[in-house]
A = this chain, B = another copy of it.
Amino acid sequence: MGEGETTAFPLIWTQPPPRRRGLDREKIVAAAIRVADEAGLDGLTMKAVAAGLGPYSPMALYRHVHSKEGLFDLMLDAATAEIPLPGEPGGDWRDDLRTLALETRRMTARHPWFAVLVHARPPAGPHMMRRLEFMLTVLVRQGATVGEAMTYAALIDRHVFGSALQESEEARQERRHGLDDDARLYAAIAALRELAAADGRLPHLTEWLTHPAGPTPEERFAIGLDFVLDGIAGRLP
């Protein structure tokens, strides 16, 4: 049959040009991040990453990242590298920590998968370690012990990544159920409200589902962050 034979008649001219060595960790991680940003963690398969790099087979990636979990670790550290990190703490410890928290939040907004993965992997990447070291330095300079500083840093990150996780999972649900247009979203809320109203003992929840009100996500984040920073301030010597 046709001249594009791979089986019967191997004419060199019709064969695809041999693949040059084009892959490395950086490219693979960048492609994986691109895929995860666009398709979510569910869409992050080895096949999809390979396809995002060109005509590669999924197995090609294993030569460079040796497992999907390894790829996760590299993705986490690459995303963490995007967070601007001062070389030295500035004059105001609260500003230092607040700014870092806000920048971290901005990164998680670009990479919604981050908050999911960060809870599943140990934070051993170099950029993640440097970021943590910065928080520790800021707190230790205010008189905290290293153990206390670890506790406070963990509380800040709990809030940052907790917010990010909740918001990204909400967005995921909406995308999965096609709630992007207002009509569907309204219907989904109405269904929830009916459920709550049917119980009969949920007046406040029903009210909120009828008139959802309250601070924006951004304001909610700031409120919680202030709670943590105020709390830390109250415990510094």
Contact = CB atoms under 8 A, between A and B. Distances in A.
A17 interface: no
Contacts of A140: 204
Interface in A144-160: 145-151, 154-155, 158-159
Interface string A126-166: 10011011001100100001111111001100110111011
- Grouping DSSP codes into helix (H, G, I), strand (E, B) and loop, the A interface class, with mixed when no group exceeds half, is helix
A173 interface: yes
Contacts of A147: 208, 212-215
A129 B136 CA distance: 39
Interface string A176-193: 000000000000000010
A144 B124 CA distance: 42
A120 interface: yes
B162 A223 contact: no
Contact of A207 (B129, B146, B165, B231): B146
A107 interface: no
A199 interface: yes
A82 interface: no
A171 to B, nearest CB: 12
Given A151-B215, A158-B159, A159-B159, 7 more contacts: A129-B202, A146-B207, A149-B204, A151-B220, A154-B166, A158-B158, A223-B235
